[in-house]
Amino acid sequence: MAIARKLRMGMVGGSLDAFIGAVHRMAAWLDGEIELVCGAFSSSAEKSKATGAALRLPAIRSYASYEEMIRTEKELPADQRMDFIAIVTPNHMHFGPAKLAMENGFHVVLDKPVTFTYAEAVELKQVIEKTGALFCLTHTYTGYPMIKEARQLLAAGKIGKLRKVYVEYPQGWLTEFREGSNYKQAAWRTDPKRSGISGCMGDIGTHAFNMAEYVTGLKVEAICADLQITVPGRLLDDDGSVLLRMENGVTGNLFATQVAAGEENNLKIRVYGEKGGIEWKQEDANTLLVKWLHEPTQVYRAGSPYLSSFAQLGTRTPPGHPEGYLEAFANIYRNFAFTLQCRLNETEPKQEWLDFPGIDAGIRGMLFIEKVVESSQSELKWTTL
């Protein structure tokens, strides 16, 4: 693949006090394929300018709004304008900039969940199909090399016909009523006007759902959900459990909570088949356990030569050197960048490079959110997706 230059990225959201904006910038920078050239970093023009200055961008490339950025960048010479935008705003501000960017010839990387509602997600897919834009959704955890290895092992039938899936995502950071303070992350993630109809399930339950479908390659067909608000005064769910019925008769259990005091980000998945099972957890991301019915458990480690090409591409260091969240995030950006470079060069990307979440994963996530809320509120419980 001939790479003549770095891809030029613009950013919507991600001011200096925003956690996820910095994560996106680090992930995009890590492999040297992308450079940040402009941004509309805040709804406050002054804050956007200050962020651009801190990031050493020219003052004229720090914009007061995403509309101004897209309009101005489109008029720049081809060798200067941005190639794509990364949207790192709260959920209610995803659809507008993504749609406008693609309609004006720019590709899009978007933080999850894809949109504010399921209807917006479906409409966004129509925009993608109409414009032909390349679209990437940053479901971070699919970037871990040992998650990719798990997906390849299951796809190859190594543990036999699948039977059971357990996926969990416990956090503890909202055990107290933190949205009542100046804590920005807590304030918007628990606000229905900015986060949507679900709190915990919309925020991290979608990651667990995406993990279950990505690793197994199977879709969830029906759910039975129970959502709770455990902290007094909170407006959205902070805890929930979901029974899953998946394709091929596979059943599963999913739980997500943000009120598990003492927990950090202990995402974990286990999948069992007729011959054995796999187990992975984010707190030991370089390890994949492969369990067998009549043999000892095997320990697969990141960076090892026996792993699939998908896992090896996602590993940057020799065995025993820890890699984590930023590297997994960067794997998504790198695959997107390689695929976009191929499109610009009119060449075919490798299959490994195409392994990043797209609009269909986003639509599935939004459908999950809406059906989880529907199921939790229904007396019938079992709800089809």
Q: What is the CA radius of gyration of the chain?
A: 21
Q: Following DSSP, what letter does each residue of 308-369 receive, concatenated?
A: -HHHHHT--S-TTS---HHHHHHHHHHHHHHHHHHHHHT-PPPTTTT-S--HHHHHHHHHHH
Cα–Cα separations (whole angstroms), residue 183 to 31, 147, 186, 264: 32, 32, 6, 17
What pLDDT was estimated at residue 2? 47
pLDDT digits over 321-358, tens only? Answer: 989 999 999 999 999 999 999 999 999 999 999 999 99
What number is the average pLDDT over the span 70-87?
97
Closest alpha carbon to 371 in 242, 247, 199 = 242
- What is the Cα–Cα distance from 316 to 256, expressed in whole angstroms? 30
The yes-or-no verdict on residue 34 having pLDDT over 70 is yes
- What is the Cα–Cα distance from 138 to 247, expressed in whole angstroms? 25
| The two structure tokens encoding residue 257 | 């909570």
| The two structure tokens encoding residue 261 | 């005091």
The yes-or-no verdict on residue 161 having pLDDT over 80 is yes
- What is the Cα–Cα distance from 202 to 75, expressed in whole angstroms? 37
Task: Return left, alpha or beta for 166; rule: phi > 0 is left, psi -120 to 50 is alpha, else beta.
Answer: beta
Rounded (10°) angle between helices 206-216 and 359-377: 120
The yes-or-no verdict on residue 1 having pLDDT over 50 is no
pLDDT digits over 195-228, tens only? Answer: 999 999 999 999 999 999 999 999 999 999 999 9
User: Which residues, in sequence order, are CB contacts of 157 under 8 Å at separation 6+?
Assistant: none
Q: Which residues pair with 239 in a beta bridge?
A: 228, 257
Asked whether the beta carbons of 137 and 110 are under 8 A apart, the reply is: yes
What amino acid occupies position 240? G
